[in-house]
Amino acid sequence: MSMEEKQNFQTFQDFSSLVLKPNREETIADIVKYCYKKNIPLEICGLGSKKNIGRNFQSQKTLDLSNYSGIIKYEPEELYIKVKSGTSIKEIKEVLEKKNQQLAFEPTDFGPLFDGKNNEGTIGGVLSCNFAGPRRFKVGSARDHILGFKGVNGKGEIIKSGGTVVKNVTGYDLSKVITGSFGTLSVFTEISIKVLPKPDLTKTLVIENPHLKKGLEYLNAALASSSDPSGAVFYPEYFRNQFTFNDLTTEGPITAIRIEGSKLSIDERIKQLLNELAINQKEVSILEPEQSNIFWENTRCLKVFTNLKNDLLRAIVPASETFDLINKLKPYNIKYFIDWGGNLVWLQIDELNSNILNEIKSIVKNFGGYLTAIKVEESLKATIDIFTIDDVKYKISEKIKKSFDPKRILNPGKMYTGI
């Protein structure tokens, strides 16, 4: 390192270690700037909760943001919180809880899947990956909740977009582009995110129903009803024994619909929903608030896949196609459950190889959706595409990547080869 570089680098002393853990924004920018000059590829990480998702790629250093954490500003009445990117979701939730607010998109917790225990990661990681939980169809995903950010692009420049107010169309909506880009465009430093009131109560209607087809029809009818559900999920019978609730008196698969709001409103809406779905009280169990919360928390955390040995895929299709999709995938020896009212299918699969993956990908694509390989064996990772993309979008994405990170030093290859 030259004298000049050292001076530029004074905010960060020890560049020799493989893992860099800055605690200041300027330092983050300095590190990236240095790596830009020297062509040093960086892996960006927070608490490592989603480290296994995405392609393997070559990096020389790890930029660990878990020390860059803390709440910068929380204004409950303005419905936003501004935090440093390495702040853990756990900490954010604790702060919001005190004001009875929440991150309404319920970020997926992959901790149980990869590591057997909860690890929700950091806000930066959650936004970089954009995986939303059961409430997605009602409130949107992480990308619908980010209001603004500051970050460091691949040249080491600090950039910002958006702000802290909900209505803002000043310039391009870069917050959306960065969200879901798996750290390949910029390193998040500050994030302003929308928060919403927690509902007073939640209850869950579980319908006694043995068939997938009927289950999907119930979910779809619930989403189209005026009962305004906030969760709609189907678990086949083989997952039934993972749910031991006193309130759960039905047998067989679980077709569950969540209703949230004030007590009066919930009871009215459940009654109405039973009417609209043309089912009677005897065919349902109602999970009361406490059990309902646990049920959806388990769904959000992919509890049924805790310490999964097999591979896990995530297919998103229009809800109208889900039944045919599952039927078409049966020969592949799958286990699955369906979230988002039929729009999201989690697929556990034995003996995945690149041929099978490509076949499944193309099946999902033909149904108008897309497939992401969430958990695959390391040996397979090198030979398959984790994400899906077509040629035109690849070319556009390549250009977008270049505009943020011209030397490809931020998580290069994490999403696609060459990006």
Partner 1 sequence: MTSLQMPKVQQSILSSKDKIISELKKILNSNNILSHEDEIRPYETDALAAYKQKPLLVVLPETVEQVSEILKYCNDNRIKVVPRGAGTGLSGGALPLADCVLLSMGKFNKILEIDYKNRCVVAQPCVTNLAITHAVQDNKFYYAPDPSSQLACSIGGNVAENSGGIHSLKYGATTNNLLGIQVVLMDGTITRFGGKTLDSEGYDLLGLMTGSEGLLGVITEVTVKILRSPEVARAALIGFSTIEDAGKCVSEIIAKGIIPAGMEIMDKALTKATNDYSKAGYPVDAEAMMIVELDGTEAEVSELIKRVEDIANKNKCSSIKISKSDEERLKFWIGRKAAFPACGDLAPDYMCMDGSIPRGKLAEVLKEIKRLSEKYSLPVANAFHAGDGNLHPLIMFNANDSEQLRKTEEFGSEILKYCVKVGGALTGEHGVGIEKRELMCEAFNDTDIRQQIDIKVALDPNSLLNPGKVFPILRKCAEEGRVHVHGGKTKFPDIPRF
Backbone conformation region of residue 302, classed left if phi is above 0, alpha if psi is from -120 to 50, else beta: left
For residue 380, what are the CA distances in angstroms to 223, 373, 375, 383?
A: 38, 11, 10, 6
Residue 381 contacts partner 1 per CB under 8 A: no
Residue 8 contacts partner 1 per CB under 8 A: no
Closest among 109, 100, 97 to 133, alpha carbons compared: 109
Alpha carbon distance 161, 176 (integer Å): 10
Q: Which is nearer to partner 1, 67 or 102 (CB)?
A: 102
Alpha carbon distance 74, 94 (integer Å): 12
For residue 146, what are the CA distances in angstroms to 65, 126, 188?
A: 19, 11, 12
Residue 230 contacts partner 1 per CB under 8 A: no
Residue 334 contacts partner 1 per CB under 8 A: no
Paired tokens of 16: 């020799």
Binding test (CB under 8 A) with partner 1, winner from 191, 284, 374, 415: 415
Backbone conformation region of residue 79, classed left if phi is above 0, alpha if psi is from -120 to 50, else beta: left
Q: Which is nearer to partner 1, 214 or 240 (CB)?
A: 214
Distance linking the first and last C-alpha atoms of the chain? 28
Residues 338-367 that bind partner 1 (CB under 8 A): 340, 343-344
User: Element (H or E) spanning 159, and its range?
Assistant: strand 158-162
Binding test (CB under 8 A) with partner 1, winner from 228, 247, 297, 359: 228
Give the nearest distance from C-beta 302 to partner 1 in angstroms: 17
Residues 176-195 that bind partner 1 (CB under 8 A): 176-177, 179-181, 185
Binding test (CB under 8 A) with partner 1, winner from 5, 91, 115, 144: 144
Binding test (CB under 8 A) with partner 1, winner from 58, 171, 282, 330: 171
Q: Which is nearer to partner 1, 75 or 350 (CB)?
A: 75
**Range list of β-strands (E), 284-362:** 284-287, 311-316, 334-339, 344-349
Q: Do residues 365 and 265 make contact, with C-beta atoms less than 8 angstroms apart? A: no
Binding test (CB under 8 A) with partner 1, winner from 1, 18, 72, 396: 396
Q: Which is nearer to partner 1, 332 or 370 (CB)?
A: 370
Residues 67-96 that bind partner 1 (CB under 8 A): 75-79
Residue with tokens 């809406």: 269
Residues 106-135 that bind partner 1 (CB under 8 A): 130, 132
Q: Do residues 248 and 285 make contact, with C-beta atoms less than 8 angstroms apart? A: yes
3-state secondary structure of 214: helix
Binding test (CB under 8 A) with partner 1, winner from 37, 51, 90, 198: 198
Residues 304-323 that bind partner 1 (CB under 8 A): 316-320
For the window 249-278, what string marks contact with partner 1 as x by the rule CB under 8 A?
A: ------------xx-xx-xxx--x------
Residues 12-71 that bind partner 1 (CB under 8 A): none
Q: Which is nearer to partner 1, 26 or 208 (CB)?
A: 26
* Neighbouring C-beta atoms of residue 307, cutoff 10 Å: 10
Give the nearest distance from C-beta 216 to partner 1 in angstroms: 10
DSSP state of 341: G
DSSP state of 221: H
Q: Which is nearer to partner 1, 3 or 169 (CB)?
A: 169
Q: Which is nearer to partner 1, 76 or 289 (CB)?
A: 76
Q: Which is nearer to partner 1, 95 or 306 (CB)?
A: 95
